[in-house]
Amino acid sequence: MAAASKPLSLGRQRDETRVRTPLGDAWRQFRRNRLAVVGLCFIIFLVALAIGADFLQSIGFLDDPLYQHDAPGMTLAPPMTCTQDPRRMNPQWCFVFGTDDLRRDMMSRAIYGARVSLSVGFIGAAISMLIGVSYGMIAGYYGGAIDNLMMRFVDFLYAIPDLALFIVLQVFFKALAAERERVGPFAQVLVDIDRSMGGLFFLFIVLGLLSWIGVARLARGQTLSCKQKDFIEAARAIGARDRRIIFVHLLPNILGPLVVVGVQSIAGFIGVETTLSYLGIGVNPPTPSWGGMIATAQNNVFGAYPHLVLVPTVMLGLTVLSFYFLADGLRDALDPSLRDS
């Protein structure tokens, strides 16, 4: 008798304790968007390559991106050519994607270049989210005169054309780095940090300076609308402090659209980094970066050697596209109004 009723009650219990978390629902929704899943996979693949680049080099899959091969009889090699490698007692080294004008392996440079692009994308987005979300939430939550003052300042910054400011500031920082011996001790420390990061440090500062304003506006708007909801009032009626209301009640409920914009902005940052490197004011020249590689291609007859421009642009295009697909999938997944529950 007990055996007969047991499976039935077990089945009911499982149903009652089955939990559908908001995050689990979002993941189920996200999986339905094929392109977003493909984008996520490509990004994970690229991040793995970029992080594991040194390991891949140690097992002989990648080359040192700075090593200039001695290729007799030609200035640069097209894809799928092989040459002698004197560093390894003359076994062959094959250039899958060819070489550039200084006879450096293109595939290695493209993958090491992903390190620059991805770190600029992720850190740039992290900086802009951190500043933008806290700025926007403070303005939106406290409201009144504080909000008015803070948002007028944002309006002022919004009027500055950002790419032009990026260029001016990068030129300024490059000049600062070139004049290291003549600047003050504080600036010298900054220049040293920047050199050790291959020119990335100043790039982060420049990008972080203006990029947060869009996020701040969005965060403020979301905070304003969420603040009106009854559960915020309920939290206050319970006796919750401001800090708890902001972090436990407001933030998780406005995070969805912010994450979408954050992921989209990663693609934007990668584009800006490529632009600046292409113009020669991005990362310092020996450090491989996609924008720098495109600039190199321009200086050569790339009609004869299309791989010079194809390799970096295809990498750039796939990466940017992946981030946009990912953002698109996240928007559907994180917006509860689009979900069937």
Partner 1 sequence: MPEPMTQAPTAQKDAQGREVLLRVRGLKKYFPIMAGFILQRQVGSIKAVDGVSFDVYKGETLGLVGESGCGKSTTGRTVLQLYRPTAGSVEFEGVDLVKLKGEALRRMRRRMQMIFQDPYASLNPRMSVGRIIAEPLVVHGIGTPAERAERVQYLLERVGLNPYFVNRYPHEFSGGQRQRIGIARALALNPSLIVADEPISALDVSIQAQVVNLLQDLQQEFGLTYLFIAHDLSMVRHICDRVAVMYLGKIVELAPSDELYNNPLHPYTQALLSAVPVPDPALERKRQRIILKGDVPSPANPPVGCNFNTRCPVAVESCFRDEPVLKEVSPGHSVACHLVS
Interaction site with partner 1 (CB under 8 A): 13, 16-17, 19-22, 148, 152, 229-231, 233-241, 244, 248-249, 252-253, 336, 341
d(C-alpha 245, C-alpha 214), whole Å: 24
User: Which CB atom, from 16 or from 181, has the smaller least distance to partner 1?
Assistant: 16
Amino acid making up residue 325: F
Name the residue nearer to partner 1 (CB basis): 109 or 220: 220
d(CA 63, CA 42): 22
Q: Which two tokens stand for residue 239?
A: 């006796």
Closer residue to partner 1 in complex, CB, 115/217: 217
The least distance separating partner 1 from the CB of residue 151, rounded to whole angstroms, comes to: 10
Closest CB to partner 1 among residues 140, 198: 140
Which CB sits closer to partner 1, 253 or 284?
Answer: 253
Residue 82 and residue 139: Cα distance in Å, rounded? 60
What torsion, rounded to 10 degrees, do the Cα atoms 228, 230, 235, 238 define? Answer: 130
Q: Cβ 13 to partner 1, closest distance in Å?
A: 8
Neighbouring C-alpha atoms within 13 Å toward the C-beta of 338: 14
CB of 3 to partner 1, least distance (A): 23
CB of 137 to partner 1, least distance (A): 16
Q: In whole angstroms, how close is the CB of 341 to partner 1 at the nearest point? A: 6
DSSP bridge partners of 83 = 93
Three-state SS at 281: coil
